[in-house]
Each structure stands twice: as C-alpha cells, then as structure tokens.
Amino acid sequence: MRILGLLSGVVFAVVMISVLLLVMGVNFQSPPRAQGAALYNAANEVSVQGVVQSVEDFDCPVSEGEVSGHLNLKTADGVLQVHLAPVRILRGQKISFLSGDSIAVVGSKLRLAGKKGIIAREITRGSETIIFRDQSGRLLLTQ
C-alpha cells in the first residue's frame, strides 16, 4: 500500500511539474539553426574559378529549406559545392548551368553537412554575370 501511495505521489509530481513548465512557456524545441542570409559571412568571401562537374537540386538550409540549385565545381583546390538559389527562382529567371561550364564564383565559403562549399553572391560565365545576393547575403533574385 505504501508503494502504491509513493508511486501515485511521483506521478502527480511529474504531471504538476510538466504543467507548470508549459504554463510558464518553456520551449522544448532545439534552438533554430542559421539559415539563408544568416549563413552568409562577408568576412569569408572568396573568388574561385572552375568547371561545373554536376548540377543538383535538393532541400537546403541556405535556401531556408526550399529545394535549391547547387553546382559541384572542380577547382584547383578540389571540388566545392556552390549554393545558388531556390529552384523556383532559377527556373523563373531561366538561369541554368551545364556540366563543363567554366565559371568564376564570388561568395562566402562555408562547410555544410561536412562538405566544403560557397554561397554564391555572383557567378560569371563568359561575358554574362549573374548576381544572386547582395553583400550581406540577402537573395536579390525574385520569382
């Protein structure tokens, strides 16, 4: 009988503590990770040249969870993943890249999901320059 009383007391205490935490507004979610322009760091801005090895579209924190365009760029220092913009914007602006394109990229270098990368601010291909972001990393292209 004593064990039953003790057990019900513990259950009651856990329920009360949980209710108090919820009433006080305690947030049990993990803090938000940096996304979009928050990942762009002008202090890490570099300029690289290379040849596009492949083009990929996938869900990415740089584009705040939207499916976005990416290039795998072969440079003198290895392969970099270039983060472009959401696919809906790339298609709306008729921006595309092909394997074999020689490009120069200006952007903020970063490491995301274990891969060396760069968030493109601007890309030059031949005489064409595409400006994706301002110097703070905010996307300039619109749909």
- What tokens does 5 get? 């009383």
pLDDT at 33: 47
Considering only CA atoms, which of 88, 136, 86, 83 is closest in space to residue 113? 83
Q: How far apart are alpha carbons 51 and 74 in whole angstroms? A: 5
- Output the CA angle 120-143-74, nearest 5 degrees: 25
Global pTM value? 0.74
List alpha helices for the chain, DSSP H: 2-23, 87-92
DSSP 94: T
Residue 27: what pLDDT?
57
For residue 18, which phi and psi values (nearest 5 degrees)? -60, -45
Higher pLDDT, residue 93 or 20: 93
**End-to-end alpha-carbon separation of the chain, Å?**
69
Domain 36-131 has CATH 3.90.50.10: no
Residue 26 class from Cβ within 10 Å (0-12 exposed, 13-18 middle, 19+ buried)?
exposed
For 81-101, how does the pLDDT look when each residue is reduced to its tens digit (9 = 90+)? Answer: 999 999 999 999 999 999 999
Q: Calculate mean pLDDT across residues 8-18.
A: 75
Nearest to 47 by CA among 116, 103, 104: 104
Tell me 75's DSSP state: E
Write the pLDDT tens digit of every residue in 111-132. Answer: 888 889 999 999 999 999 999 9
Contact 54, 76 (CB under 8 A): no
